[in-house]
Amino acid sequence: MPEFLSALTQQPCRLSTPALVCSLGDNLADIAQRLFSGERGLTPTDSFTPGRSLPLGLVHTKLPDMQAWPVEHRSRNNQLLAAALEQLAPELAALRARQPAARVGVVLGTSTSGIGETEQAVAYFQRENEWPASFVYQRQEIGSPSAFVAAHLGLDGPAYTLSTACSSSARALASGRRLLALGLCDAVIAGGADSLCALTVNGFAALGAVSEQPCLPFSANRCGINIGEAAALFLLTPETGGIQLAGYGESSDAHHISAPLADGSGALAAMTAALAMAGITAEQVDYVNLHGTATTQNDSMEAQAIHALFADRVPCSSTKALTGHTLGACGALEAAFCWLALREGYLPPQINDGIVDPELAPIRLATADAAPLHRALTNSFAFGGNNATLLLERTDD
């Protein structure tokens, strides 16, 4: 094995306590309680689709005031990140106390960035025939989230944003691990954020992919997704112990601009690669967080991939039934749910109507049980056949 590949495989990557803001809450105690009890955090609203009420994973937390920020950083997306950064502050302060000159990088995933603010500016232009004085294009640039975090914290390490649709923040975590393995950073803030806006809600509606009811992943009656918003961050450090990002797998089946490859082979390749990097077998995985969008095609192909690798042995669930699909943030958010499952020893239950789809390959859907969990795998699959899988492992110390 080439030396740099060996370094990637052997590099420890400790995940800090996650910093989360989502429709289940803004602190780990509340989020864990709702996650493990299967409480949905969906709000019916027609705010983005006038005249058509949809259940959305809205964040109701009061977010940090952004009026003192540079105008190019003033977006709801960055407010979500700022709220998460407040939770991450103790971990970051402890790192800087140990290593005052630590090289801290930032790798984030998003798909919306500040597009919501541009929508407001366009509406103003249509009314007034001029742009609002506060409008700057930079707010909607894909690089805005990482630029904001680096500026907000005064960091000068590598800072960049990935946008691969729904696998964005999962890939950001994998990318952060690579920065550590290559010795380019001493620590990396990695994760993602996406905020609700008309573009995404109406875009998925135009595809006929949204459900007007709370979504039903892996049910025979599933008919589409709910959209949500969130920010999820970790501090990655090259330390042993704690909960490790033990492996990741990435693949691209490039089958279709929006539909997944029906046989699940792209998803299977990503999962297999994550297991290989961690040096474990499928039998050693205790829980799988499914991508589970509740669309007909995604759930079908993912069930095939899961069955091919795990049969119906490992408990699985899609937490998008609780939070909605948080798009570019979902990979990091659901990695955080796996982190909580490993720490607490509880399974996030699969919430749907209990109607089994006989057309799906048989998999074991999780119930709200206590279980000794050591390893959890989480899937994120995106438009264009862009697939990412993360493998988290709880160590004994």
Enzyme catalytic residues: 166, 291, 325
Residues 171 and 190: beta-carbon distance below 8 Å: no
Give the Cα separation of 287 and 116 in Å (integer). Answer: 35
Single out the residue of 274, 285, 303, 292 nearest to residue 376, CA to CA: 285
Residue 206's contacts (CB-CB under 8 Å, 6 or more residues apart) are none
Among 113, 86, 76, 114, residue whose Cα is nearest residue 17 = 86
Distances from the Cα of 300 to the Cα of 204, 269, 330, 385, angstroms: 19, 16, 20, 15
For residue 226, give every residue at least 6 positions away whose Cβ sits within 8 Å of its Cβ, in sequence order, or none.
42, 54, 55, 56, 57, 210, 211, 214, 215, 294, 320, 324, 325
Residue type, 11: Q
Contact 22, 31 (CB under 8 A): yes
CA distance 99 to 245: 22
Closest CA to 159 of 190, 186, 129: 190
Extended strands (E) in the chain: 14-15, 19-21, 43-45, 54-56, 104-109, 159-162, 187-194, 230-237, 243-252, 287-289, 315-317, 364-365, 375-382, 386-394
Q: Return the DSSP state at 150.
A: H
